[in-house]
C-alpha cells in the first residue's frame, strides 16, 4: 500500500477531488500555505494499493494546471531592481510513501 500526499493549488483542488471520487478514490483534504508565494494550497492525503498508484498520480497530474504569475521583485532580497517578474506556479508536488500498516477504526 502507498500513501500519496499531493500539494496542489486551491484553484485546482475541487476538480482534482471530483475526478478522484469519480474514479473511486477517497482523499483527505488539508488546507496548506506555500512557502514561496505564501499562496493557498490544498494538500491531499490518499491511501491506495500499489497497483493503483500510477492511476491516482495521472489524475492529479492531468487536473493540476501550471500557471504563470507576475510577482513583485521585492520578495527576492537578492534582486535590486524594482518591478515584477514572471514565475511559474501551480502543478502539483507529489510525495509517495510506503505504508507499513493501515488501520480503519
Predicted local distance difference test score (pLDDT) of residue 72: 67
Q: In what order do the strands lie in the sheet with 2-9?
A: 28-33, 40-48, 2-9, 92-98
Task: Provide the CATH number for the domain formed by 2-98 in this structure.
Answer: 3.30.70.120
| The three cell numbers locating residue 6 | 499531493
Predicted local distance difference test score (pLDDT) of residue 36: 58
Upper half-sphere CA count for residue 82 (Cβ side, 13 Å): 0
Domain boundaries, the chain: 2-98
Tally the residues of the chain.
105
Q: How far apart are CA 92 and CA 57, in angstroms?
A: 10
Q: How far apart are CA 41 and CA 73, in angstroms?
A: 22
Helix (H, G, I), strand (E, B) or coil at 16: helix
How does pLDDT run across 24-82, given as a tens digit for each residue?
Answer: 999 999 988 766 556 678 999 999 999 999 999 999 999 998 877 676 666 656 655 66
What predicted TM-score, i.e. pTM, was given to this entire model? 0.78
Amino acid at each position: 500500500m502507498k500513501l500519496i500526499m499531493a500539494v496542489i493549488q486551491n484553484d485546482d483542488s475541487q476538480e482534482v477531488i471530483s475526478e478522484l471520487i469519480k474514479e473511486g478514490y477517497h482523499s483527505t483534504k488539508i488546507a496548506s500555505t506555500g512557502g514561496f508565494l505564501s499562496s493557498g494550497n490544498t494538500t491531499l492525503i490518499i491511501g491506495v494499493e500499489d497497483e493503483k498508484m500510477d492511476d491516482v498520480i495521472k489524475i492529479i497530474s492531468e487536473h493540476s494546471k501550471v500557471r504563470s504569475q507576475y510577482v513583485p521583485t521585492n520578495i527576492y532580497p537578492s534582486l535590486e531592481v524594482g518591478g515584477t517578474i514572471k514565475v511559474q506556479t501551480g502543478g502539483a508536488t507529489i510525495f509517495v510513501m510506503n505504508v507499513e500498516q493501515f488501520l480503519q477504526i
